[in-house]
Structure formats: C-alpha cells, structure tokens
C-alpha cells in the first residue's frame, strides 16, 4: 500500500496526515528542494516513514514522487492533482537530463 493510504473494510482510504506529507513533498520538489534535503529534513524532524521509523532517503521520496497512484484511479483516491504530478515528473526528467543521468534500467 503506498504511503498515505490504508485499507478500511476492503476500501482504500486516505490517511490525512500522511497524505498532507505527500503533498508537501510534491510542493517542495516543485519549489526546488532536492530529494536528499527532503530526506534529511524528515529524519531530523523524526517523521516516520511507511515502516513507522524516522528513516528516509532520496530513493524512498523519489518513489513517492513517481507513483502515479497518488493522482487517483478506480482503486486509489486522489492525493495530488494530475497537474502537480506531471509538473514534478517534468522537473525530474529535466534534472536527470541536465545531470546526464541514465534512467533506462532495462
């Protein structure tokens, strides 16, 4: 189950506090905060991750930012807008191109 959601009586519901954190991650990335800085800030603040531990890294935040489920579908309720998701996706693609990162792992 993606961070910010929980199953209640067979229906996926939003965990409001965690969903707000997901939205803040999207906002922060759009504002120019790096994944590493976000991870450091979350650890420093003692905010628990999906495993309930205050242990974050750039990879875990990157997975959240690239998870389309947050835009909602027939199973998952919407946490971030399609526009916000696409803005982050475009920013990440641009940054990867600028840094000459290969994201094709096939």
Query: Which residue would you say has higher pLDDT here, 97 or 8?
Result: 8
Give me the mean pLDDT over the 27-52 stretch: 96
Nearest residue to 25 via CA among 76, 91, 72, 95: 91
For the segment 51-95, what is each residue's pLDDT rounded down to a tens digit? 999 999 999 999 999 999 999 999 999 999 999 999 999 999 998
* pLDDT band at residue 103 under the 50/70/90 scheme: low
Is residue 96's pLDDT more than 90? no
The answer to whether the CB of 60 falls within 8 A of the CB of 48 is no
SS3 category, 3: coil
**Maximum CA extent, the chain:** 46
């Amino acid at each position: 189950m993606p961070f910010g959601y929980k199953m209640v009586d067979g229906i996926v519901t939003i965990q409001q506090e965690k969903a707000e954190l997901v939205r803040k991650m999207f906002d922060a990335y759009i504002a120019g905060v790096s994944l590493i800085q976000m991870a450091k800030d979350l650890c420093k603040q003692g905010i628990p991750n999906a495993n309930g531990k205050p242990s974050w890294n750039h990879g875990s935040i990157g997975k959240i930012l690239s998870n389309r489920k947050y835009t909602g579908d027939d199973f998952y309720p919407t946490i971030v807008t399609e526009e916000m998701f696409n803005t982050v996706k475009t920013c990440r693609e641009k940054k990867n191109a600028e840094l000459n990162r290969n994201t094709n792992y096939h």
